[in-house]
């Protein structure tokens, strides 16, 4: 599963703009299969953007990693 870094959100915006322009061109040319493929890609892109926004709102998760007692750190 692809995880998008939040710093890449502007790039997703650029990709979306390009896909919308390509979809308009495909519609004008009557390329129905191309239009369907672009719309599917737009759906996935928008889903990834939603996932990034949702993940930014979640608090950090405490994994409960145990710490090593101090007595184990000192050599005998």
Question: How many domains is the chain partitioned into structurally?
Answer: 1
Looking at residue 1, what is its pLDDT?
56
- Indicate whether 69 belongs to any domain: no
List, for residues 11-53, the tens digit of each pLDDT value: 999 999 999 999 999 999 999 999 999 999 999 999 999 988 8
49 Cβ neighbours under 8 A, 6+ residues apart: 4, 9, 12
By residue range, what is the domain housing residue 49?
28-54
- Indicate whether 45 belongs to any domain: yes
- Indicate whether 63 belongs to any domain: no
- Indicate whether 3 belongs to any domain: no
Between residues 71 and 67, the one the model is more confident about: 67
Say yes or no to pLDDT of 73 above 70.
Answer: no
Q: Which of 43, 42, 17, 38 is nearest to 27 (CA)?
A: 38
What 1-4 contacts at long range (C-beta under 8 Å, 24+ apart), as own/partner pairs, is 2/48, 4/48, 4/49, 4/51, 4/52
List, for residues 57-66, the tens digit of each pLDDT value: 888 788 888 7
- pTM higher than 0.75: no
């Amino acid at each position: 599963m692809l995880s998008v870094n939040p710093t890449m959100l502007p790039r997703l915006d650029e990709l979306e703009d390009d896909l919308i322009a390509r979809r308009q061109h495909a519609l004008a040319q009557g390329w129905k299969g191309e239009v369907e493929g672009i719309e599917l890609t737009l759906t996935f892109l928008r889903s990834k953007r939603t996932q990034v926004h949702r993940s930014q709102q979640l608090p950090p998760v405490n994994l409960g990693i145990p710490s090593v007692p101090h007595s184990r750190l000192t050599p005998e």
